[in-house]
Amino acid sequence: MKTSQNAVALNYWFLMAGLSVSVVLLFALSLLIGPLAVGVWEAWNGLFSTHEIPLALIMQEIRLPRAILGAVIGATLGLAGAVMQGLLRNPLAEPGLLGISASASLGAVLAIYTGLAAVFPLGLPIAALTGSMIAVLLILAIAGMSGSVLTIILAGIAVSSFAGAMTSLALNLSPNPFAALEIVFWMLGSLNDRSMVHVQLAVPFILFGWLMLFSVSRALDVLTLGEEVAASTGVNLTRVRLLAIFGTAASVGAATAVAGAIGFVGLIVPHILRPLVGAQPSRLLPASALGGAVLLLAADIAVRLIAPERDLKIGVLTAIIGAPFFLWIVLSYRRSLL
Amino acid sequence: MMIRRTLINTILWMTLVLQGLAVPAFSETQPKRVVSMNVCTDQLAILLATRGQLHSVSWLAADPGISVLAGEAKGLTLNHGLAEEIFLMQPDLVIAGTYTTRATVNLLKKTGIRVEEFAPASSFADIEKNIGRMANILDNPEKGDALIASFRSDLRRLKEKQASRKRLALYYANSYTSGAGTLADEIVDASGLRNLAKELGYSGTIKLPLELLVAHQPEMIAGRERDFGKPSKAEENFSHPAFKAITGGGRGISIESKYWICGAPFVLDVSQELWERADEN
């Protein structure tokens, strides 16, 4: 027994090390890929140059923010997915499927297209955060009432399509003809031409959200034994729920505000990693964060390689991987129910 | 079909006579109640129609942000390109762009109304061709000849000046640019500048990554701007820190999009403006 536990622990550290190395490599690769061919040495110089040369501008103001956002937003989605799945004890819980990302998009759209974000930049992440918070509260209220998997997923679909429709409406009503074309960005997400301004706006909220999400990992471990057991061991369920809600809302809201709603990352990543970490939430959370970063960085590199001229939306790629995966989970889950 | 058209014509004539309007000496074939439903054909028609010949133009033609001739369009009836609306105006000629609401154009053709379609101009030669064709359709060839002659002399005057040969990048919302084979490229060419996108091998209207714009550092960067009152993500590229860094020191200029988008003689105003800006630069 002892040795097998040690083996799991050892495997876990191998997994974490492997994921960390992948994040670093993909981050570096992300910095090296772009329309302009840049060698490794040039890229390195550009990244740390203090002169206003074109290469420094390209590396520091165009490629670096993109790579940072890819890693941070991917980690957010993986982490939030793992927390939602642990909290709701539901394999299909995920910010995208539950309508949290779509609601954050709606908040961001309202802030940007009414001009609020131009006057008051912090209004953008705050509006997105508010949108995502409303969605999380709604889902939890519904889950609290019956708690069945089906109810939560159906509620998620309802929230998601409502927020999506409101986003389209707001964009269609905008007097700016470009706005209507941007529905696709808010539905599928993109990291193209983001700047350090976006990093500065989103990252503080995201990190704050992470803190709250990581703080519930021990409680989630106990929660796997059931709510009654958890309560009897002294876990304050209300506090855990609130931390998970605000953590998800803050991090996913801020991420969506600058990159649009990117789906499926929060679904796939915890599912792939769960068997590898021994189904223990406190181990799954950091692993899912790293896994999310790996997936999103890889997807963002892929969109640049597949169609460099076209600004292919990153959500297209995550959906191509995610949708069949989602179907597979639904099918296997149905089988286990029968 | 023929009967209906004659009927409409008869009704039209009768109303005109009944209203006691002074009808100028129209020739037999001259259209008398013309409706245009594309902002570019609108403006050509305004330039080439005789008084009272043009009944309606699209609502965009009266928007001073989109149309150079918005003032002239104000006095005309405005349409929204809807088949019913156009049909009820009882035009004897409808002018549309080849990209205008296809369904409407097809419906109107079915009702027997004469519809003339204009492809967007992608060169100065296209502009002259469209002017000539529009003048013929409206049966005012002498107006067309005069407009083409003045366009040619304006162009000649521009080409005679000393070209500055500075590099100019066209950079629009959503990072789009115009490469070879576009009207915008010919406008830039007539201003004595070199179009960066064309030199990079781009053709058509296509994305120019911000990275490449930064890397090539053109002497001038021109946007086609229009203030819609409300922001959009498409225009976010203009406030990107990297873009701001390379457009400092008067390198970034903006000329309202309405002068670029339609193939009409006033595109040479853009060339003229670019020329002057290059001298100051």
Tens digit of pLDDT at every position of chain A (338 positions): 455 667 777 889 999 999 999 999 999 999 999 888 888 998 998 899 888 788 998 999 999 999 999 999 999 999 999 999 988 888 878 888 888 999 999 999 999 888 888 888 888 899 999 999 999 888 888 877 666 667 877 888 899 999 999 999 988 888 887 787 788 888 888 898 889 999 999 999 999 999 999 999 999 999 888 888 888 888 888 889 889 988 999 999 999 999 999 989 999 999 989 888 887 899 999 999 999 999 999 999 999 999 877 778 998 999 888 888 888 877 877 766 54
CB contact under 8 A, B246 and A61: no
Is residue B214 within 8 Å of residue B251, measured between CB atoms? no
- Cα torsion B259, B264, B269, B275: sign: positive
The count of other CB atoms within 10 Å of the CB of residue A61 is: 22
DSSP notation for A276-333: GGTS-HHHHHHHHHHHHHHHHHHHHHHHHHH-TTTT--HHHHHHHHHHHHHHHHHHHH
* 3-class secondary-structure state, position B177: strand
Is residue A313 within 8 Å of residue A261, measured between CB atoms? no
Instruction: Say how many CA atoms lie within 13 Å of B127 toward its Cβ.
Output: 26
In angstroms, rounded to a whole number, what is the distance separating the alpha carbons of residues B213 and B221?
A: 9
Question: Chain A residues with CB inside 8 Å of B246's CB?
Answer: 54, 57
> At B231, phi and psi to the nearest 5?
-75, 170
Query: How many Å separate Cα B118 from the centre of its chain?
Result: 11
pLDDT in tens, A134-176: 998 888 888 776 666 678 778 888 999 999 999 999 888 888 8
Element (H, E) at A41: helix A40-48
Give the model's pLDDT for residue B33.
94
Q: Looking at the partner chain, which of B175, B229, B245 has a beta carbon nearest the beta carbon of A193?
A: B175
**Predicted-assembly ipTM surpassing the 0.85 threshold:** no
Closest-CA distance of chain B to residue A302, Å: 17
Element (H, E) at B72: helix B70-73
Q: What is the pTM of this model?
A: 0.82
Report yes or no: A57 at the B interface, CB cutoff 8 Å: yes
DSSP notation for B246-276: HTTTTTEEEEETHHHHS-STTHHHHHHHHHH
The single-letter code of the amino acid at A232 is S
Query: How many Å separate Cα B91 from the centre of its chain?
Result: 22
Torsion of the alpha carbons at B29, B33, B37 and B40, rounded to the nearest 10: 60
Query: How many Å separate Cα A233 from the centre of its chain?
Result: 31
Of B90, B97, B112, B88, the residue nearest B41 (C-alpha) = B97
Give the model's pLDDT for residue B18.
42
Q: Looking at the partner chain, which of A35, A113, A179 has a beta carbon nearest the beta carbon of B211?
A: A35
CB contact under 8 A, B246 and A193: no
Q: Looking at the partner chain, which of B212, B231, B237 has a beta carbon nearest the beta carbon of A193?
A: B237
Report yes or no: A173 at the B interface, CB cutoff 8 Å: no
- Token representation of residue A287: 């692993």
